[in-house]
Structure 1
């Protein structure tokens, strides 16, 4: 009698997991099928039917040429590289100042960071756009970089957990040896924060790679297109060439999926270490 409820609960859990897996993998499955279909085949065949040939690479050749995906990948990587360097310096220095020093505005600054996380980004875009325009960054690769370098509350929280776990005696010993605060930050604190830095940089890079709103708003020029905005070249007011969109999305997804699979252990290790600390 006692085994029946246990068996029923186990079956429900496994059924829910299979349904969740189906919901997750079903869209990519349809995407892969659609990316290998020709225009006529896509229009007249069911969405779940297999393509006539998985060796049909015409859609991929078309999106690489018309969509200028190689150029878009270059722009995206440039933005990610510049943004990560700036974000690393800004966020770790902010966390170092908040975690190591005592000053009157410390609680106020943390409160502002927390409050800003509750404000939707869309509500501040008029003011942000005006600032970017007056700085002369509109329609340049530096416009999204200027917006991505800022530290968010998640980064500060994770970095603060690591900094507070670093013994302050290390700072004191370095000061006795004549080291400046900047040297202490660069040679002691920053290397000991490597697990958290790697984790946050991976998450930040994924967010930048997936973002479409900021590049679309601040870089409308065609030559400044990134991987996310390049998809719009296959969409018009009257029609959408879904076979090309599917091929482009598949090409854009591959580096992201491969990068995440290679780096996922660093992401999970950094988050768990930060939570334990």
Structure 2
């Protein structure tokens, strides 16, 4: 072969056609939908089974354990379950309300101070507030228990809301981000009109960050409502037990059958769903406006 032979120029790679690009987008979109469908089924199946079981008789459950459609709908399960859990339900409602109100008050005032007021060491103080969030709560459990036992707080509701209300790190961070997104001209105009610092916080700025407030309220409510570990450690008396603790520990005593236990579990998740649906619009706005700045 002659050394002077020249290599043929490489062939140009044809650009993908519009049809190929459309097919690729269709496949990618289909794969995403299939993935989301699989996740939806994985998350929804236990919930549907719980609801179906709560409406079955014990005989129906024994004969058709995995069936999602009861042979006969036993609505009386919910009446019996509600009667059994009503004291614990009231305890959980009380704690949730105290936690939500307390966290909103403390975190909004702290966030306003960190975002709008000028004082020495402000940024350093905020750094230490955020630093406490990296400490696992399990690490603090033994010191907290020793302290609460010495001051007589064990077997009371105080350990279930005082620490959460006095250290609202997440709420402070989220509301601080929301306050920082408001123009400084609002403060300046209010000061010219003679509005006090508290008046600026309460009348001018706080109404502007209602979506972030709603987000903090939803997170706090869910955290308080689903708290099992705190009541398990600090509560000994049955009359002070919360709903998660009752479902976990007293199922054999208060719920003689699996169907009643599933009915009680369905009732326990209803307040969370209702709160989220009521605050959904503000919740999404608050996360988008505050958490991503």
Cα distance change on mapping 1:189 and 1:130 into 2, 3 Å: farther
Question: What does residue 155 of structure 1 align with?
Answer: 171
Please report how far the alpha carbon of residue 157 of structure 1 lies from its aligned counterpart in structure 2 after TM superposition.
Answer: 2.5
Query: Do the aligned residues in 2 keep the contact of 1:30 with 1:47 (CA within 8 Å)?
Result: yes
Q: Secondary structure of the equivalent of 2:282?
A: helix
Give the distance between the partners of 1:178 and 1:151, measured in 2 at CA: 32
| Structure ID, larger Rg | 2
1:36 maps onto 2:52 in alignment: no
For the pair 1:234 / 2:251, whether they are aligned, the reply is yes
Counterpart Cα distance in 2 of 1:269 and 1:51:
40
Q: Determine the structure 1 residue equivalent to 2:240.
A: 224
The Cα shift of 1:200 comes to 1.1
Partner of 1:127: 143
In structure 2, do the counterparts of structure 1 residues 240 and 107 end up closer, same or farther at CA, with 3 Å as the change threshold?
A: farther
Hey, which bits of structure 1, 4+ residues long, moved more than 6 A?
A: none
TM-score, normalised relative to structure 1: 0.86
Q: Aligned Cα RMSD in Å? A: 2.6
Which residues of 2 match residues 171-210 of structure 1 at below 5 A? 171-176=187-192, 178-210=194-226
Q: 1:213 to 1:269 in 2, by over 3 A?
A: same
Looking at structure 2, the residues matched to 248 and 18 of structure 1 have their Cα atoms a distance apart, in angstroms, of 28
2:29 aligned with 1:10: yes
Q: 1:84 aligns with which of 83, 100, 119?
A: 100
Q: Deviations over 1:50-109 (max 9, x none)?
A: 32211x1343233223x3x22222212211222222212211111122112334432332
The answer for the alignment partner of 2:71 in structure 1 is 52
Deviations 1:14-70 (A, max 9, x none): 21121111112111111112112223332343322532211x1343233223x3x22
Give the conservation status (yes or no) of the 8 Å contact 1:72–1:230. yes
Q: Which is worse superposed, 73-82 or 107-116? A: 107-116
Mean alpha-carbon deviation: is it higher for 204-213 or for 110-119? Answer: 110-119
1:176-232 Cα deviation digits (max 9, x unpaired): 555443333333332333222122112211221111111222223111122211213
**How far, CA to CA, are the matches of 1:87 and 1:267 in structure 2?**
16
Q: 1:130-141 to 2 correspondence within 5 Å?
A: 130-141=146-157
Residue 117 of structure 2 aligns with which residue? 101
Count of matched residue pairs:
272
The residue number in structure 1 matching 2:45 is: 26
Note the alpha carbon deviations across 1:235-261, whole angstroms, 9 max, x for none: 48xx99432221111111222223322
| TM-score relative to the length of structure 2 | 0.82
Give the secondary-structure state (helix, strand or coil) at the position aligned to 1:138. Answer: coil
Secondary structure in 2 matching 1:117: helix
Unaligned runs of at least 5 residues, structure 2: 1-18
